[in-house]
């Protein structure tokens, strides 16, 4: 399922127009009538673009900045007049119309568009702070590529001086302080139309954005990045500077959550009706060193004659960058490859994980003509925490209702076994829940389980000892040695039979021409005798054998087998190596209990 190039170009145009609308309140560099320079003739193969911005009228009431300076600012001379703009005071500044005309030629093909912004108004401006900034609406006309109409964009408490200070265009009195840049941002949404695409765009809101001036001005950053063009191997000094700019950027912002009401698009993809939509998105609040969570609801993609993909929710959880930022702050001025090798794990952020729910997929199988992939997932969640040297030591992942329709035949041996048992679909789930205790040097496995609806559930839990912090050492040899020193203190196996044994016995009985009810006690007796023989000499042998017999015979549907090491340190690798030659060597070292219900 791939959208055509035309659809992709339409979406690119729409995304660009939306970005222009959002950036408008923070960008005063509009030209009254200006044109960008074209690329040199030697670079004729590169895209050639021009931008013309027309502002027929600017109306300033009670402004402390003269008309010529205001016109220069809106013509693009922001840096040259930054101090004047930062101290701007006016009852209002109104620009009835801003027209942005763009033209781009790529590989000899010209594309042009006109974006018109209506009634940009800054009200009650005092010392570079506007009580409100609003745009009543805007439109985009890209000819054959499409057109759109969008509603109001507004914000309150727009701190022009703070925005200029953020990018290093003016010097603030307290550069380390967070300042409110704007509050109550609202975008009303709108519509977009193209020959093969029609979209309705929902609204967007942001409560507040705070920021502090960056330690490196925007102009210096751009200059540094431009200096890298054509360089295959930047110097360690340059790499160090770029990393510190990166670290500074991720601690310079703070925001409240943002919401987007989604979009709904329909049209054609290579002649086939298609639709795709998102019900809504939410971005969590940003804070210094924390990249916020992002949640999307109601993704729905459908292409007629091809397939559908639906997603109820997907959430990317927040990411704590404090570890990498601390490593960068402590790094030398020149950062070379050796530093990266030594600090690779320290540069791993503490990512909390992700989740998704209500996935339904029905698409052609790209590896088998005429076959389809039909599957659904009820819920999936990955939660990571308690990072130590870049490794999460607290892991919880769960999944439920993973439903897959099995093909009639497959080369996968395990799937073919299920198909041979008459199973046409599988409804599965799993859980992995484990954590490390630094104080006790143990890894607790709370649950490792697999579940098949109407089949069976198998769950394992236990405790591993000798799990020192060396297990997560930055030294690979030390980490490997610690892993080999792990010991098993206890293990517990729980099995619930929800119908799998009936299916297996029915298949075996059919092959042998026997009655499943007749085979059960036979297999139960064989299993009991084998277990007692293996555990010969152990006090628990009879009880364990009887429990397993009851489970196989069908008298019990739940079986628990609990093994505990008699040595508090647990069973280590040497114990299991000795058991390879003599499995009974472990029997005297553990206590085994079994129950069947």
Q: Is residue 89 part of a domain?
A: yes
Domain that holds residue 22: 1-38+45-146+154-170
Helix, strand, coil share (%) of the chain residues, nearest 5: 30, 40, 30
DSSP β-bridge partners for residue 182: 209
Beta strands, E only, 142-189: 147-150, 153-159, 179-187
Per-block mean pLDDT, blocks of 10 residues, the chain (597 long)? 46 43 40 41 52 84 88 76 89 89 76 88 93 93 87 94 83 69 94 90 94 85 81 86 91 94 88 90 93 95 87 96 93 92 90 95 77 87 95 96 79 72 83 96 96 91 94 89 92 91 80 79 82 72 87 90 90 79 76 90
Q: Is residue 11 part of a domain?
A: yes
**Residues 6 or more apart in contact with residue 269 via CB below 8 angstroms:** 3, 4, 7, 196, 303
For residues 328 and 243, the answer to whether their CB atoms sit within 8 Å is yes
pLDDT at 538 (0 to 100)? 66
For residues 528 and 152, what is the distance between their CA atoms, to the nearest angstrom? Answer: 77
pLDDT at 176 (0 to 100)? 64
pLDDT at 28 (0 to 100)? 37
Angle at CA of residue 49, ends 46 and 52, nearest 5°: 170
For residues 50 and 31, what is the distance between their CA atoms, to the nearest angstrom? Answer: 13
Q: Is residue 127 part of a domain?
A: yes
Q: Is residue 9 part of a domain?
A: yes
* Residue 369: exposure state from Cβ atoms within 10 A (0-12, 13-18, ≥19): exposed
Q: Is residue 104 part of a domain?
A: yes
Q: How many domains does the chain have?
A: 1
For residues 40 and 42, what is the distance between their CA atoms, to the nearest angstrom? Answer: 5
Structure-block tokens of residue 522: 């036979």
SS3 8: helix
For residues 486 and 462, the answer to whether their CB atoms sit within 8 Å is no
Q: Is residue 76 part of a domain?
A: yes
Q: Is residue 524 part of a domain?
A: no
Q: Is residue 82 part of a domain?
A: yes
Token pair 């209002």 is at which residue?
A: 92
For residues 206 and 285, what is the distance between their CA atoms, to the nearest angstrom? Answer: 10
């Amino acid at each position: 399922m791939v959208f055509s190039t035309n659809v992709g170009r339409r979406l690119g145009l729409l995304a660009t127009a939306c970005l222009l609308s959002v950036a408008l309140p923070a960008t005063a560099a509009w030209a009254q009538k200006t044109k960008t320079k074209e690329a040199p003739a030697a670079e004729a193969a590169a895209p050639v673009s021009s931008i013309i911005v027309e502002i027929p009228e600017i109306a300033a009431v009670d402004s402390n900045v003269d008309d010529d300076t205001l016109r220069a600012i809106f013509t693009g001379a922001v840096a040259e007049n930054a101090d004047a703009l930062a101290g701007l005071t006016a009852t209002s500044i109104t620009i009835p119309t801003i027209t942005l005309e763009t033209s781009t030629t790529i590989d000899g093909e010209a594309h042009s568009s006109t974006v018109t912004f209506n009634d940009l108004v800054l009200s009650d401006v005092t010392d570079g702070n506007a009580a409100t900034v609003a745009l009543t609406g805007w439109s985009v006309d890209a000819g054959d590529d499409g057109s759109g109409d969008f509603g109001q964009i507004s914000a309150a408490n727009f701190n022009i001086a703070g925005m200029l200070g953020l990018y290093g265009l003016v010097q603030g009195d307290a550069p380390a302080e967070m300042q409110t840049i704007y509050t109550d941002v609202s975008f009303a949404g709108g519509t977009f139309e193209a020959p093969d695409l029609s979209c309705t765009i929902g609204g967007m809101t942001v409560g507040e954005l705070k920021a502090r001036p960056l330690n490196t001005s925007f102009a210096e950053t751009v200059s540094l990045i431009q200096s890298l063009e054509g360089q295959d191997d930047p110097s360690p000094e340059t790499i160090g500077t770029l990393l510190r700019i990166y670290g500074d950027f991720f601690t310079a912002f703070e925001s409240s959550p943002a919401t987007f009401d989604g979009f709904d698009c329909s049209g054609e993809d290579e002649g086939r009706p298609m639709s795709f939509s998102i019900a809504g998105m939410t971005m969590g609040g940003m804070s210094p060193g924390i990249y916020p969570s992002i949640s999307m609801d109601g993704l729905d993609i459908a292409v007629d004659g091809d397939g559908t993909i639906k997603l109820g929710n997907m959430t990317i959880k927040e990411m704590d960058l404090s570890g990498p930022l601390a490593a960068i702050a402590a790094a030398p001025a020149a950062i070379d490859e050796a530093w990266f090798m030594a600090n690779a794990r320290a540069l791993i952020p503490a990512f909390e994980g992700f989740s998704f729910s209500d996935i339904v997929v029905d698409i052609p199988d790209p590896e088998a003509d005429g076959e389809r992939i039909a599957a659904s997932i009820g819920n999936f969640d990955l939660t990571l925490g308690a990072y130590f040297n870049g490794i999460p030591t607290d892991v919880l992942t769960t999944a439920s209702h993973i439903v897959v329709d099995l093909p009639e035949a497959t080369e996968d041996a395990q799937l073919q076994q299920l198909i041979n048992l008459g199973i046409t679909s599988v409804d599965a789930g799993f859980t992995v829940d484990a954590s490390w205790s630094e104080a006790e040097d143990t890894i607790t496995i709370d649950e490792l389980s697999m579940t098949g609806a109407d089949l069976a559930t198998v769950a394992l839990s236990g405790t591993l000892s000798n799990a020192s912090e060396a297990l997560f050492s930055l030294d690979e040899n030390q980490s490997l040695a610690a892993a080999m020193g792990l010991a098993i203190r206890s293990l517990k196996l729980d099995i619930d039979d929800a119908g799998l044994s009936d299916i297996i016995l029915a298949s075996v009985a059919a092959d042998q021409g026997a009655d499943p009810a007749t085979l059960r006690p036979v297999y139960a007796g064989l299993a009991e005798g084998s277990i007692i023989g293996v555990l010969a000499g152990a006090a628990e042998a009879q009880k364990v054998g009887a429990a397993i017999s009851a489970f196989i015979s069908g008298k019990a549907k739940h079986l628990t087998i609990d093994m505990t090491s008699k040595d508090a340190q647990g069973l280590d690798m040497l114990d299991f190596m000795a058991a390879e030659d003599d499995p009974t060597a472990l029997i005297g070292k553990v206590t085994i209990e079994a129950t069947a219900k």
